[in-house]
Structure 1
Amino acid sequence: MPAHAEPHIPIGRLDDGTPVYGPPGRLTAVDGQRRVRCHICGALLAHVSADHLTRHGLTPGSYRRRYGLPPGPSLTAPGVGHAPPTTPTPPSWLPRRRDRLPARPAVSLTR
């Protein structure tokens, strides 16, 4: 299927007559690799998420099996970057916590 094809025009049908909007066995990346086409509805998404697939009554595993996609690769568009870390790294000029705390006094357990 050419990347410029209309998203809501099926390119074929499954044996049960269900329309298919992407070629079997691979995700179609468009918009500079920033979005992929859902095989079920033709929507252009950054990621074919479990939430999106739930709307179609499928899980990621059943979606992969139904459309011949391999189990390993992500359902995310290749050009979508990774999320930033959840905890920011402190600037290098900021002393580390252990360098800022005073040393603990030695405690003797004998009387």
Structure 2
Amino acid sequence: MSSTAPPPATSLAVRGPLVFQPVKHRRCGACRAGPLTLLVLEEGRPRCLDCVDLGHLVYLPRGDTALTRRAREESALSAVVVRFHRRRGRYERQGVLVEEAALARA
């Protein structure tokens, strides 16, 4: 299984775009920036957050469920961040990207 393949649609209930933390070093398919710490797959090609207009979002790591829930409710745009776990052979949620103002309100 390739580490860049998106997870099956039934494995994660996702609202908004899905953002990946790549295991290997990747470059943006549009602007060639890299190596990327976070990327979005569009038509099978990695794109940086700036190329898909998500660059203004801030990363909120997993751990504080209440803060994550409140920040996602306040944010008009949010994205789930996942990373492929090689040993388990599946994608695991690492956190969310939310708007900075929404995080401050939460």
Normalised by the size of structure 1, how large is the TM-score?
A: 0.27
Q: With a CA cutoff of 8 Å and minimum separation of 6, indicate the structure with the bigger relative contact order.
A: 2
Which of the two has higher C-alpha Rg? Answer: 1
- The structure that is strand-richer by fraction is 2
